[in-house]
Amino acid sequence: MPRMPRILLSGVPVHHLQRGNNRGPVFGDDRDRWLYRELLLEGCHRFGCGVHAYVLMSNHVHLLMTPQRADAIPQLTQWMGRKYVRAYNARHDRTGTLWEGRFRSSVIDSARYFLACSRYIDQNPVRAGIVREPAAYRWSSFARLAHGARDDLITEHPEYHSLGHSPAERQVAYRALCAPLVDPDVAGGIRLAVRRGDVLGSAAFADEVRARLGRPISRLAHGGNRRREPFDLRVS
């Protein structure tokens, strides 16, 4: 069955996931992570993307970002692939591909899921058992969003601004949000939506996306007798 075109719209937040080829490592050490961050910052300026949350794991990367144009994220990913992979291969004396063939993505209903997705991303190292709390992991957006640490990569989203009237209020609120892990059902929905390339949001949001695209946004499930519905989980 041919792949459905990606669901990407200007001004609509996207959960972007990219894994290492065969789930292999994509960062050998902190120097690689610094290089990736610097290239990502340059690429976001070049192609018009705002990163709102991120985490750099050993073999995959999660980004929550908003593109200014529908084609900005594919262009950014392709450019990053050339720049970063060339440098990584040269530094580690290797050849060949580093990333899986295609990045995965899902558009996010910002009013319902933006903050849940941001928490999900920042809590990734905790769920993986690497650290006991998000603040203990250096390579994520948590220090910026929860404690105000300088991070030029981060563009604050209106949903984050809704947490408080001042930076201090927003940081306190975000720390409180991230104290408990995202509900397992919500986390599962976020994972499945990005894996399948689905819309994560309400039926009304799905209708808006469908109208803007001018085409269907889901394929028939296996067997041809059921259509996948967009995810719309209750966010705690």
**Tens digit of pLDDT for each residue in 190-215?**
999 999 998 998 889 989 999 998 88
* Domain residue extents for the chain: 14-211
pLDDT bracket for residue 3 (50, 70, 90)? low
Q: What's the one-letter identity of residue 19?
A: R
pLDDT at 236: 39
The superfamily in CATH containing domain 14-211 is Transposase IS200-like (3.30.70.1290)
CA 199 to chain centre: 13
Predicted local distance difference test score (pLDDT) of residue 2: 53
The confidence score (pLDDT) of residue 220 equals: 36
**Mean per-residue pLDDT, 49-72:** 97
Q: Has residue 231 got a pLDDT over 80? A: no
Number of alpha carbons in the 13 Å side-chain half-sphere of residue 126:
18
Band (pLDDT 50/70/90 cuts) for residue 50 is very high
Torsion of CA 75, 79, 80, 86, to 10 degrees: 160
Give Cβ neighbours of residue 1 (< 8 Å, ≥ 6 apart).
Answer: 219
Mean pLDDT, residues 55-79 taken together: 97
- Exposure of 190 in the CB half-sphere (CA atoms within 13 A): 30
